[in-house]
Homo-oligomer: A and B are copies of this chain.
Amino acid sequence: MSDSAYKIIELVGTSALSWEDAAKNVVETAGSTLHDLRIAEVTRLDMTIEDGKVKSYRARVRVSFRLED
């Protein structure tokens, strides 16, 4: 219905490869239990560093999912 209710949450994914991979990991994990995910908006990108080297890429994303009726 057009009267559906949604909740918005913010998640952070991490990957040693890329920001795409970081975002994809966390969204696809969330997608297995949440309803009706359609868009994930990036709200922050950063990197963790260890001993002067990049250790991981992190992507923070906002997704909305439909609340159960």
State the A residues within 8 Å of B (CB). Answer: 2-16, 18-20, 23-32, 37-42, 44-57, 60-61, 63-64, 67
Interface of A is mostly: strand
Q: Quick one: closest B residue to A7, CB to CB?
A: B11
Q: Determine the chain B residues whose CB is within 8 A of the CB of A48 once the complex forms.
A: 38-39
B15 near A31 (CB under 8 angstroms)? no
B12 near A6 (CB under 8 angstroms)? yes
Q: How far is the CA of A31 from the CA of B52 in the complex (A)?
A: 4
> Which of these, B12, B20, B67, contacts A57 with CB under 8 Å?
B20
State how many angstroms separate the Cβ of A4 from the closest Cβ of chain B: 6
B11 near A56 (CB under 8 angstroms)? no
